[in-house]
């Protein structure tokens, strides 16, 4: 018995090690060409925007990649090195990247930081919930804001302007290119905005109601005329957050009362709660929406433009 136990243990250990080795690619630091700007974007969606504006003049490193959850981000040495060697760092702000300050200090980075949400009209955290639960009173009054600004295209048009300004300031030699790139991309964003508006317009007003995992669609709802009936996890973000039984019951009741036809899960998180809620309310679960991250290359959400198109198509199709 004993030798076989030991062999089993050794095999398991060997397996674990080989899995570990297989899981990680060798350290691939992007070879920085002499005349490009080293740029870090904190997460995949922002990275896509930055790449569209920076074009060939930048070498971009994205910290939280596709399908990654910025809340449970665990850095690797190359991430720190990217920060250390960066000329410019783009971040969302609104406390979305709560870990960035520490990493920035630890890396002893000299990079300029650009908070791309600067100047936007921000939603109070949980504010839209109060449309339905006004009795909650001042519980949300801690001066906090919803960080998920990219769910509204007009916000992103402003973000692109921030990115352009940031790049131009750091690399004046290519300012004209950045401006041209930004203008072209903003053009595409305008048509995306028009597309979303048209899609939403095809949906009867009383069906424009959203139930999702997290409160991530606040700006989408504000700018495209949706009502957020509730989020399964409320405003609580990721690890350890759990809704109270009363929250679930209240939400289920609101869903029935509002006649919401479908509810949605998201790409960065398990949909267990959404499925439970669907079972309780006899609702369809819509396809997972992209919330905090791009999809992997080759998926429908691999770029910001496609991601938004996919989301609005999925929402409209499910709610129709």
Q: Which residues bind other proteins (CB under 8 A)?
A: 2, 6, 9-10, 13, 16-17, 20-21, 23-28, 71-72, 74-81, 84, 94-95, 98-99, 102-103, 105-108, 125-126, 129, 136, 139-140, 142, 144-147, 215, 234-244, 247
- Cβ proximity to other proteins, 25 vs 202, nearer residue: 25
Q: Minimum Å distance from CB 95 to other proteins?
A: 6
Helix (H, G, I), strand (E, B) or coil at 57: helix
Q: Please, which residue, 216 or 303, has the CB nearer to other proteins?
A: 216
Burial state string for 168-198 with b = 16 or more CB within 10 A and e = fewer than 16: bebbeebeebbbebbeebbeebeebbebbee
CB of 13 to other proteins, least distance (A): 5
Work out how close the CB of 302 gets to other proteins at its nearest, in angstroms, rounded to a whole number: 23
Tell me whether residue 86 or residue 262 sits nearer to other proteins (CB atom).
86
In this structure, what DSSP letter does residue 134 have?
Answer: G
- Cβ distance to other proteins smaller for residue 104 or 178: 104
The nearest distance, CB 4 to other proteins, in angstroms, is: 12
Of 67, 11, 70, 4, the C-alpha closest to 41 is 70
Q: Are 234 and 168 in contact (CB under 8 A)?
A: no
Please identify, using beta-carbon distances, which residue of 71 and 113 lies nearer to other proteins: 71
* Identity of the residue, 144 or 177, whose beta carbon is nearer to other proteins in the bound complex: 144
Give the whole-angstrom CA distance, residue 298 versus residue 86.
Answer: 28
Six token digits for residue 253: 């009741």
- Provide the sign of the torsion angle of the four alpha carbons 194, 200, 203, 206, taken in this order: negative
Q: Which of 226, 198, 219, 81 is nearest to 152 (CA)?
A: 219
Q: Considering the complex, what minimum distance in angstroms separates the CB of residue 104 from other proteins?
A: 9
- The distance of closest approach from Cβ of residue 55 to other proteins in the complex, given in angstroms and rounded to an integer, is 27
Tokens 């991430």 belong to 79
Give least dist CB 63 to other proteins, A: 12
Name the token pair of 83. Answer: 């920060």
CB closer to other proteins out of 1 and 34: 1
231 touches 215 (CB < 8 A): yes
Q: Residue 59 — left, alpha, or beta (φ > 0 → left; ψ -120 to 50 → alpha)?
A: beta
């Amino acid at each position: 018995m004993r030798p076989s136990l030991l062999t089993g243990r050794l095999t398991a250990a060997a397996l674990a090690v080989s899995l570990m080795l297989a899981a990680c690619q060798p350290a691939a630091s992007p070879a920085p060409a002499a005349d490009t700007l080293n740029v870090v974007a904190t997460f995949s969606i922002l990275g896509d925007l930055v790449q569209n504006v920076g074009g060939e003049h930048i070498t971009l490193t994205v910290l939280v990649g596709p399908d990654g959850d910025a809340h449970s981000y665990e850095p690797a040495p190359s991430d720190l090195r990217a920060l250390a060697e960066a000329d410019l760092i783009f971040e969302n702000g609104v406390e979305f990247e709560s870990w960035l300050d520490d990493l920035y200090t630890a890396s002893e980075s000299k990079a300029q930081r650009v908070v791309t949400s600067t100047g936007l009209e921000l939603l109070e955290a949980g504010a839209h919930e109060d449309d339905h639960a006004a009795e909650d009173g001042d519980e949300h009054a801690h001066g906090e804001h919803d960080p998920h600004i990219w769910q509204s295209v007009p916000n992103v048009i402003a973000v692109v302007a921030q990115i352009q300004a940031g790049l131009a300031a750091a690399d004046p030699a290519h300012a004209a290119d950045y401006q041209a790139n930004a203008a072209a991309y903003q053009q595409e964003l305008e048509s995306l905005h028009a597309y979303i508006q048209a899609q939403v317009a095809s949906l009867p007003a009383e069906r424009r109601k959203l139930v999702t995992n997290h409160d991530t669609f606040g700006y989408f709802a504000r700018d495209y005329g949706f009502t957020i009936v509730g989020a399964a996890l409320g405003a609580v973000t990721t690890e350890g957050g759990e809704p109270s039984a009363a929250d679930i019951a209240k939400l289920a009741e609101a869903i029935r009362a509002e006649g919401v036809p479908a509810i949605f899960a998201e790409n960065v998180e398990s949909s267990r709660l959404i499925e439970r809620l669907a079972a309780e309310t006899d609702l369809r679960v819509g396809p997972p929406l992209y919330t905090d991250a791009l999809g992997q290359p080759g998926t429908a959400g691999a770029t910001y433009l496609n991601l938004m198109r996919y989301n609005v198509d999925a929402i409209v199709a499910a709610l129709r």
